[in-house]
A = this chain, B = another copy of it.
């Protein structure tokens, strides 16, 4: 059974939210609700809603007719999406782990909605620059630094705070996010590992060993406009 088919079986699209259990999302009264790994959110059903991730990880993505996929955004705790503009048309969203989401009517939180759109535009522009103009190692280094910021394990008694994070994305997800193949992702990650830049024993728990060198690799940072 293909991956896509399994998704269909887990939760028939696009009525995902309606077929879920008692954590069903009700557009009439904003509430928390929960998504399982791989579960799709049927966002086109409730265009007036703004969703805020309170826990977990959401991937925003598009599908091409022949099955090619492009993940356009990865959202973590605190990030917002939905809101008619952010997810519409061919855009879909799926949870990459156990995820909790808060839903608000856009009309109730216009400032939050505007801020979410601004953030989305900025992230999308930055992401486009990466997709169009960076090499595979640059993309991977860039992604690791981004994800370590967003999903750092905040254990107060751990000396590794900010260096270790849970990689909710599979190698295939990373590939579809960065515009690579999963083989290239795997090879580059293991090359980084061999070079001592990162460390992982489980494929989904990454520890950054040499942040400076990783930053140097991703360094093709967007050039700041110096005022005057």
Contact = CB atoms under 8 A, between A and B. Distances in A.
A227 interface: yes
A127 B92 CA distance: 16
A220 B125 contact: no
The secondary structure that dominates the A interface is mixed
Interface stretch (A28-36, A112-120, A147-155, A164-172): A112-120
A62 B122 contact: no
A205 interface: no
Contacts of A85: 114, 117-118, 121-122
A131 interface: yes
B121 A124 contact: yes
A66 B220 contact: yes
Contact of A131 (B64, B122, B128, B220): B128
Interface string A1-29: 00000000000011100000000000000
Contacts of A128: 62, 70, 72, 124, 127-128, 131
Interface of A: 13-15, 44, 60, 62-66, 68-70, 72, 84-86, 88-92, 114, 117-118, 120-122, 124-129, 131-133, 176, 178-179, 219-225, 227-228
In order of increasing CB-CB distance, the 6 nearest A-B pairs are: A132-B179, A85-B118, A90-B222, A124-B124, A131-B131, A70-B129
